[in-house]
Structure 1
Amino acid sequence: MREKICTFSGIHISPADPRPEEICIEDIAHALSLMTRANGHFPVFYSVAQHSLDCAAMAQAEGRSSREVLACLLHDASEAYLSDITRPVKGCLPEYRRIEQVLQEMIYEKYLIAPPTEREREIVKRMDDTCLYYEFEHFTGEKLFDVAPQAAVLPEYRECPMREVEKKFLALFEKLMAQTVQEDGVRTDQ
């Protein structure tokens, strides 16, 4: 039997044994907009969805393709079904990382048509690390790396209502999907 969770949209999904048809962008946007970064240890509510929007904005500011920006927007999408776990803890959970990777790849394949290339993965990782660095510097004063990463643009770190963030996430997703179709000429069902 597949253990399932019920999502915001009413879809039931087994995070450990997902099916593409169970993945829904509205569920991703909603859940990530309610999930805090840093396990809730920032002084204000700052969501995973805000972080994802910031990663996408940094990629856009660098002039990245719509597909690369979309990959940045979706890079934490699996957390909508699994939860956000801090890096130090995640490193101790190999089975969680395996489940996360399977689910994240399925999300990428559903919305990006094909898995990200190594180059695209490097871009996503760099944007994610850059956002992580500046989030911690802004909210805690801590510098996580010896050398500050280059950023084409820095986000405005402010507490945002979750519904506003959810709407921004969905609007950017739709825009990037349309642009990716124009650039690549292919789109699957959402």
Structure 2
Amino acid sequence: MTQILTATGKRFDLYEPNADLIDPRDISHSLSNLCRFNGHTREFYSVAQHCCMVADLVPEEDKLAALLHDGTEAYVGDMVRPLKEWMHAYQDVEHWIWERICTRFNLDLALPASVHHADLVALATERRDLMPADPAVWDCLIGIEPMAETIRPWSATEARLTLHQRLMDQLAIEHRRKAA
């Protein structure tokens, strides 16, 4: 079987993903229940909150891409980076789903540079505020400064409601922008 059952009751096929089945409610629900760093944070901190943080750091025109940049994880989970780099089949499935998310929400396949940078700023902030102290250098964070604010982790419910509302607001903004 290659399908998963989503929170809204859709049967989503991971090997033949259908853009019409991608639902913001499923994305916000799932990402709000996924803990970043495979759960190795001092307290629960969701992928949904991470996506909102990234969106706070990008220009207006990149906010939808930022809110959805980890949207594939709603369907395949949040795999830790070292393992993801070894799992080529996982990367293929993730890419197919990302293509469908981009189709569904009219996004470019390539994430804007601002989203990549904001993702790293969020990572640096998450490391500082949520991870155990560790002197190791994370090469991807060389030259990246964390945000000044300290992260206050949201509950899963707050994360779900916030991400969903922000997605709906941003989709309405995008719709109006394209209609103008």
Contact 1:54–1:155 (Cα < 8 Å) also in 2:
no
* Superposed displacement of residue 23, structure 1: 1.0
RMSD across aligned C-alpha pairs, in angstroms? 2.0
Gaps of at least 5 residues in structure 2 are: none
* Superposed displacement of residue 121, structure 1: 3.0
Give runs of aligned pairs for residues 48-127 of structure 1, distance below 5 A. 48-59=47-58, 64-66=59-61, 68-111=62-105, 113-116=106-109, 118=110, 120-127=111-118
3-state DSSP of counterpart to 2:86: coil
* Superposed displacement of residue 159, structure 1: 2.8
% identical equivalent positions: 26
* Superposed displacement of residue 180, structure 1: 1.4
Structure 1 length normalisation: TM-score?
Answer: 0.84
Inter-partner Cα distance in structure 2 for 1:25 and 1:77? 9
* Superposed displacement of residue 182, structure 1: 2.4
Contact 1:33–1:50 (Cα < 8 Å) also in 2:
yes
Range 68-77 or range 131-140, more displaced:
131-140
Inter-partner Cα distance in structure 2 for 1:56 and 1:31? 18
Aligned residues: 176
Runs of 4+ in 1 over 6 A off after TM superposition: none
1:16 aligned partner: 15
Range 159-168 or range 42-51, more displaced:
159-168
* Superposed displacement of residue 184, structure 1: 2.5
State the Cα deviation string for residues 59-93 of structure 1 (Å, max 9, x = none).
Answer: 1xxxx133x11100000001001000011110001
* Superposed displacement of residue 155, structure 1: 5.2
Select the residue among 162, 170, 176 that pairs with 1:176.
170
State the Cα deviation string for residues 159-186 of structure 1 (Å, max 9, x = none).
Answer: 3221111110011111111111222228
- Does the alignment pair 1:157 with 2:157? no
Gaps of at least 5 residues in structure 1 are: none
* Superposed displacement of residue 58, structure 1: 1.1
3-state DSSP of counterpart to 1:5: strand
Structure 2 length normalisation: TM-score?
Answer: 0.89
Contact 1:53–1:73 (Cα < 8 Å) also in 2:
yes
Contact 1:58–1:154 (Cα < 8 Å) also in 2:
no
Contact 2:125–2:150 (Cα < 8 Å) also in 1:
no
* Superposed displacement of residue 11, structure 1: 0.5
